[in-house]
Amino acid sequence: MIEIKPLDIAENEKEITRLLDEHRDETFGFKGTKSSCSFAIYEDGVYLGGISARRTVEELHISQFAMDPRARGKGYGQKLFKECEAFALKEGCKVITVTTQSFQARPFYEKQGYTVFGQIEDVPFIGTTRYYLVKRLDK
């Protein structure tokens, strides 16, 4: 009997990811191609910001990045990005990707060498734009 029923989102996403990974690995012959990194920056024991990213094959995708407003403009975010980039190079990544909103950190990402390769207007709400950025490491 086939049935559709609610499932905890974390459990469902874990299973969906497993199925997608199996399909990719079968199609392209990749094995063990996932890893992640997470770095935080502190000043005198106080959390100022952090970055987390996940690697899939030759791409590192920055999933989250934020800095305390009082820590912005001091180069701390750049230090976190350099840590992430070092991780990506060590893992053999060719690109790093990130998404941002028009009201967030696009100028910061561009200063780090990222370029916009796509955008969607009025997402996630009217009056904002979501940007997709990439930094190529294989140049």
In a domain, 63, yes or no: yes
In a domain, 44, yes or no: yes
Position 34 scores a pLDDT of 82
pLDDT in tens, the chain (139 residues): 989 999 999 999 999 988 998 898 889 887 767 889 999 999 999 999 999 999 998 999 999 999 999 999 999 999 999 999 999 999 999 999 999 999 999 999 999 999 999 999 999 999 999 999 999 998 7
Give the domain extent around 63. 31-136
In a domain, 60, yes or no: yes
In a domain, 26, yes or no: no
Measured CA angle at 98 (ends 80, 62), to 5 deg: 50
d(CA 58, CA 34): 9
Count of domains forming the chain: 1
119's tokens: 């955008």
pTM of the model as a whole: 0.85
d(CA 96, CA 54): 10
In a domain, 97, yes or no: yes
Residues 6+ apart with CB under 8 A from 43: 71
In a domain, 22, yes or no: no
CATH (domain of 57): 3.40.630.30
In a domain, 4, yes or no: no
